[in-house]
C-alpha cells in the first residue's frame, strides 16, 4: 500500500491495483501538485461537504467512472449530479473490493456553497477509517478534538493517522497532539495547514512535539509505504 500527500487534506492511496483519493480539492488549491484533468482515480472518499474538500469530485468521478463514498446527505447531493455514489453514515462500515471503509464522527460543519449566496446542507461531517492489506488509515477530516478519539484508538489499530493542525476551522497543533496520543497511531501526518493565511502553521514544529518516530511531515507529492 502506497500513500501520498498532495496539499491541504488531499491524500491518495494506491492498493491492490486501485487508486483511492480523500477529499480531492485540486482546482484552487495552491499547494497541490495534482491536475484534475490528468488524475486517474477509482474511488473518492469524502469527509464532508465543504468546497475545499469536495473540490473536483464531480469532474473526477464522471471522467473516471469513479465511485464516490460519502455521508448520506452529501452522497445524495452528488448523486443528483449524475455521480456514482455509495452513501454511508457515522458508525457504519462497509467492505468494498478495495477494502473496508468506516465513518467515524467529526466535530465540524458540512455544507456546499453554490452561486447566489446559497448554502446547501450536506449532513454530518465524518472521519474515515480505511482498512486493507492488513493496514488501517485514519483520515480525521476537519474536526475539533473530541474525547471519543480515545475509543477510536482503543478499538482500531491505526497504522497512520492524518490529522488537521491548521487551527481556526479545525484542531490546532496543541489539540492535535492530544488527538495523536488518544488515537495511538503508529504514524501521524499533519494535514489542513498553510493553504490559506488563517491556517498557517509549522508542521515540523508539530511533529517535533510528538513521541520520537511517530510524526512525519509529508511534502506535497511525497509518498510513504505501509
Task: Say how far apart CA 5 and CA 126 lie, in whole Å.
Answer: 19
In order along its 226 residues, the chain shows pLDDT tens digits of 999 999 999 999 999 899 999 999 999 999 999 999 999 999 999 999 999 999 999 999 999 999 999 999 999 999 999 999 999 999 999 999 999 999 999 999 999 888 889 999 999 999 999 999 999 999 999 999 999 999 999 999 999 999 999 999 999 999 999 999 999 999 999 999 999 999 999 999 999 999 999 999 999 999 999 9
Record the pTM: 0.97
7: in domain: yes
90: in domain: yes
| Domain at 180, CATH number | 3.60.15.10
Q: Which domain holds residue 134?
A: 2-216
Phi, psi (rounded to 5 degrees) for 223: -125, 165
pLDDT at position 113 is 87
Q: Measured in Å, how far apart are the chain's first and last C-alpha atoms? A: 5
pLDDT at position 115 is 86
221: in domain: no
Task: Say how far apart CA 57 and CA 68 lie, in whole Å.
Answer: 8
Task: Say how far apart CA 20 and CA 225 lie, in whole Å.
Answer: 15
226: in domain: no
9: in domain: yes
Count of residues for the chain? 226
pLDDT at position 114 is 87
**What is the number of domains present in the chain?**
1
pLDDT at position 91 is 98
pLDDT tens track for 95-118: 999 999 999 999 999 998 888 899
155: in domain: yes
150: in domain: yes
Q: Which helix (H) or strand (E) holds 224?
A: strand 223-225
159: in domain: yes
Amino acid at each position: 500500500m502506497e500513500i501520498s500527500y498532495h496539499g491541504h487534506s488531499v491524500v491518495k492511496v494506491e492498493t491492490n491495483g486501485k487508486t483511492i483519493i480523500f477529499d480531492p480539492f485540486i482546482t484552487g488549491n495552491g499547494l497541490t501538485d495534482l491536475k484534475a484533468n490528468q488524475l486517474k482515480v477509482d474511488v473518492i472518499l469524502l469527509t464532508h461537504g465543504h468546497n475545499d474538500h469536495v473540490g473536483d469530485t464531480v469532474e473526477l468521478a464522471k471522467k473516471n467512472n469513479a465511485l464516490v463514498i460519502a455521508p448520506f446527505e452529501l452522497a445524495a447531493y452528488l448523486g443528483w449530479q449524475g455521480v456514482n455514489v455509495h452513501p454511508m453514515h457515522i458508525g457504519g462500515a462497509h467492505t468494498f473490493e478495495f477494502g473496508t471503509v468506516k465513518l467515524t464522527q467529526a466535530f465540524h460543519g458540512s455544507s456546499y456553497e453554490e452561486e447566489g449566496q446559497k448554502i446547501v446542507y450536506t449532513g454530518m461531517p465524518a472521519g474515515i477509517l480505511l482498512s486493507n492489506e492488513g493496514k488501517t488509515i485514519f483520515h480525521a477530516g476537519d474536526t475539533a478534538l473530541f474525547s471519543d478519539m480515545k475509543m477510536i484508538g482503543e478499538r482500531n489499530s491505526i497504522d497512520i493517522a492524518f490529522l488537521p493542525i491548521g487551527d481556526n476551522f479545525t484542531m490546532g497543533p496543541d489539540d492535535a497532539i492530544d488527538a495523536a496520543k488518544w488515537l495511538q497511531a503508529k504514524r501521524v501526518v499533519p494535514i489542513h495547514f498553510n493553504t490559506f493565511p488563517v491556517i498557517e502553521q509549522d508542521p515540523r514544529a508539530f511533529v517535533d512535539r510528538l513521541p520520537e518516530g511517530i510524526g512525519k511531515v509529508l511534502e506535497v507529492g511525497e509518498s510513504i509505504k505501509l
